[in-house]
Amino acid sequence: EITTTDSQLSTNFYSKSCPNLFSAVKPVVKSAINKEKRMGASLVRLFFHDCFVNGCDGSILLDDTSSFTGEKTAIPNRDSVRGFEVIDDIKSAVEKACPGVVSCADIVAIAARDSTVILGGPTWNVKLGRRDAKTASLSAANNGLPPATFNLNQLISIFNALGLSTRDLVALSGSHTVGQGRCISFRARIYNETNIDSGFAKTRRSKCPSTNGTGDNNLAPLDLQTPTRFDNKYFKNLLNQKGLLHSDQQLFNGGSTDSIVRTYSNSQSTFFSDFVTGMIKMGDISPLTGSKGEIRKNCRRVN
């Protein structure tokens, strides 16, 4: 099932209605990353976790209320996805510049791009014109986001179902060149798997106890070399069996994606160019356009 449209999104969507949009967003992203480098990674991930669940519609931003359960408590998101306060700060700046015009879904897309650039990655023109969902789905978030336990075929399938290719899967996974994972996400890998560098496993075990429930939230960098720099070191790690997540190492484990990982490890520019292609395709997943959805006033609730 292909859910991407050759969308009605366009890079100049707000050029008349909000000419200063990009200059309103960027300094807020910049100052958030200056405060905490990891936030850049968190904002890139927020875009992924929005787009994979009913499309890039800002659904992930909706807070739970007494009468509504959104996506924030889904297993892949709870105690893990972050950056909501930064999105609020960006929204405030954007509302000041152009009240009632720019969707929260588009703000997430721009923040992901700006974060990538600030951390040293490639730039691209962000397609815009998404509108905000009036609903969110806990079950869709639980079912639509890939867990780190997936094998290569499962990863390929979940990406293909959204119109993203195997090459997009590998390129987009390259965003694990930045950010952190919790012990609970990589415990089984560092204790039970054999396709892992033994010294690397030993280092990671020192802060991630083997007992379930102990140290679950202890963090480790997804890229052991340059965790705050957007580069191709993640792929070099995979060649050395130093992927932190099971799903990372699946991309270089004797299967069909080995050659793509090798290509990216040898050519950062090829990685960057495929990453941009992947981010634009991911951003095209079933947007709400025209009169669908709304422009939220507050990204955390429907109007």
Binding residues for ligand HEM, rule: CB under 6 A, are: 38, 41-42, 44-45, 48, 80, 82, 146-148, 150, 155, 169, 172-173, 175-176, 178-182, 185, 222, 245, 247
Closest distance to Ca ion from the beta carbon of 235 (Å): 10
Closest distance to ligand HEM from the beta carbon of 176 (Å): 6
179 touches 227 (CB < 8 A): yes
Question: Among 246, 244, 8, which residue's Cα sits nearest to residue 127?
Answer: 8
Q: Among ligand HEM, Ca ion, none, what binds residue 101 when CB lies within 5 to 8 Å by partner kind?
A: none
* Range 16-20, long-range pairs (CB < 8 A, 24+ positions): 17/98, 17/101, 18/94, 18/97, 18/98, 18/101, 18/102, 20/97, 20/98
Closest distance to ligand HEM from the beta carbon of 144 (Å): 11
Which two tokens mark 90? 């960006």
Closest distance to Ca ion from the beta carbon of 19 (Å): 27
Tell me how far apart the alpha carbons of residues 9 and 161 are, in angstroms, rounded to a whole number. Answer: 21
Q: Among ligand HEM, Ca ion, none, what binds residue 44 when CB lies within 5 to 8 Å by partner kind?
A: ligand HEM
Tell me how far apart the alpha carbons of residues 76 and 186 are, in angstroms, rounded to a whole number. Answer: 13
Tell me how far apart the alpha carbons of residues 281 and 127 are, in angstroms, rounded to a whole number. Answer: 10
Asked about 49 being catalytic, the answer comes back as yes
Tell me how far apart the alpha carbons of residues 90 and 84 are, in angstroms, rounded to a whole number. Answer: 10
Q: Among ligand HEM, Ca ion, none, what binds residue 233 when CB lies within 5 to 8 Å by partner kind?
A: Ca ion
Closest-by-Cβ residue to ligand HEM is: 179
Residue 247, sorted as left (phi over 0), alpha (psi -120 to 50) or beta, turns out to be: alpha
Kindly tell me which of 283 and 293 has the beta carbon lying closer to ligand HEM. Answer: 283
Kindly tell me which of 244 and 254 has the beta carbon lying closer to Ca ion. Answer: 244
Q: In which element (H, E) is residue 182 found?
A: strand 180-182
Burial of 65 (0-12, 13-18, 19+ CB in 10 A): exposed
Total count of residues recorded for the chain: 303
Question: If you search the block for the tokens 């959805």, which residue do you land on?
Answer: 293
Q: Measured in Å, how far apart are the chain's first and last C-alpha atoms?
A: 32
Kindly tell me which of 203 and 286 has the beta carbon lying closer to Ca ion. Answer: 286
Q: Which of 26, 45, 49, 242 is catalytic?
A: 49
Q: Among ligand HEM, Ca ion, none, what binds residue 106 when CB lies within 5 to 8 Å by partner kind?
A: none
Q: Among Ca ion, ligand HEM, none, what binds residue 54 when CB lies within 5 to 8 Å by partner kind?
A: Ca ion
Kindly tell me which of 188 and 245 has the beta carbon lying closer to Ca ion. Answer: 245
Closest distance to ligand HEM from the beta carbon of 147 (Å): 6
Name the site residues for Ca ion (rule: CB under 5 A). 50, 53-54, 57, 59, 177, 223, 226, 229, 231, 233
Q: Among Ca ion, ligand HEM, none, what binds residue 172 when CB lies within 5 to 8 Å by partner kind?
A: ligand HEM
Kindly tell me which of 55 and 152 has the beta carbon lying closer to Ca ion. Answer: 55
Closest distance to ligand HEM from the beta carbon of 303 (Å): 29
Question: Among 245, 266, 284, which residue's Cα sits nearest to residue 126?
Answer: 284
Is 231 marked as a binding-site residue? yes
Tell me how far apart the alpha carbons of residues 153 and 157 are, in angstroms, rounded to a whole number. Answer: 6
> In the beta sheet, which residues pair with residue 182?
219
Is 53 marked as a binding-site residue? yes
Q: Which residues are annotated as a binding site?
A: 50, 53, 55, 57, 59, 71, 146, 176-177, 223, 226, 231
| Catalytic residue numbers, as ranges | 49
